[in-house]
Amino acid sequence: MGGCSVLGRIWGVWRRRPGVRAVPKAPGFGTEAGHRLRPRGSSKRSRPLGGQPFPGLLQLENLSREELVDVLRAAVVDQKGKPGELTLFSVLPELSQSLGLGDQELQVVQASGKETSGLVLLSSCPQTASRLQKFFIHSRRAQRPTATYCAVTDGIPATSEGKIQAALKLEHVDGVDLVIPVKSPSRKDFQEGVKRTLSHFRVVAMGSGCALVQLQPLTVFPSQLQVHMVLQLCPVLGDHTYSARVGTVLGQRFLLPAESTKPQRQVPDEALLRRLCLTPSQAAQLPLHLHLHCLHLPGMRPGEAPMKLLAPLPSYFSRTLQCLGLHQQ
């Protein structure tokens, strides 16, 4: 597939050490892969979080533009035809030059939220980017998932598998864009920006009052997976925006009104803090445990078999699973 590249990207503020080696076939998080990211080792330019129990994270604010380009360039997992890569839009021109693309511009084909770890897909070929975008649009219309995420949730869903449907809208509240669920939306609501959203979930493992959950969005909306898990009363661990909407009284969880609940730092209970070996101040910096693990892509040429691209879990994510006794299947 000409002009297509993938890299292990983590979020807007923090970034884990990139994985770079592609292998022909490997087992993954409930799937088998055409290509898989594996750690190649730390870069001498990489600066780990000092004094933080979240291994594999970087402070981007401590990197220069040149160092950031080096980190991104090292994170390319697979290149077909013209190379490409991604993370912050501001350094894409430098990255393009560093990869020898000349005047060709990199385009973002597929990316998750800025705080989400995992795969990002770029292309330096407009035709390839257009083909992939059409593939993703067609797959959504057919309700065929192309992306699989894994998440650690604070709480365990009531059922082991199912679909989450919700009408969502984006509102600007106190200077922040927040996603708000809309009950019984009218036709006017949909005309004013309310969208129907749908995700599939499957519980992979449970332990210590938490769960390892596989998530497959069938629609695209900002923070869709985070909000959907809040609606299940199981916010994603490290969700410092929407988890406050889940209240607890006498051990029973319930939803607080989204319109009047302001974002605040997630506060795990004492038992969970002990299992994670975190202090309350460290928990306030807990990264979002939502990882774009797998992307399904069409074959490189007409008639060829589809591809699967896998990104391994960040080391802080794996540490959390170990602390909670959540074992991948």
Domains contained in the chain, number: 1
131 belongs to a structural domain:
yes
CB 24 within 8 A of CB 53: no
Query: What is the phi-psi region of residue 208: left when phi exceeds 0, alpha when psi lies from -120 to 50, beta otherwise?
Result: left
Name the amino acid, one letter, at 238: G
Write out the residue range of the structural domain in which residue 84 sits. Answer: 4-146
What pLDDT is attached to residue 122? Answer: 78
What pLDDT is attached to residue 82? Answer: 38
256 belongs to a structural domain:
no
pLDDT along the chain (329 residues), means of 10: 40 28 31 38 39 62 70 55 46 73 76 83 83 92 95 97 97 89 93 95 96 97 97 97 95 93 92 94 94 90 85 93 86
Structure tokens at 252: 């029973």
What pLDDT is attached to residue 40? Answer: 35
User: Is the whole-model pTM more than 0.85?
Assistant: no
Q: Identify the bridge partners of residue 168 per DSSP, sorted by sequence position.
A: 181, 195
103 belongs to a structural domain:
yes
What pLDDT is attached to residue 208? Answer: 92
Residue-wise DSSP of 120-155: EEEES-HHHHHHHHHHHHHHHHTT---EEEEEEEES
252 belongs to a structural domain:
no
329 belongs to a structural domain:
no
238 belongs to a structural domain:
no
What pLDDT is attached to residue 316? Answer: 94
The CA distance from 54 to 315, in Å, is 8
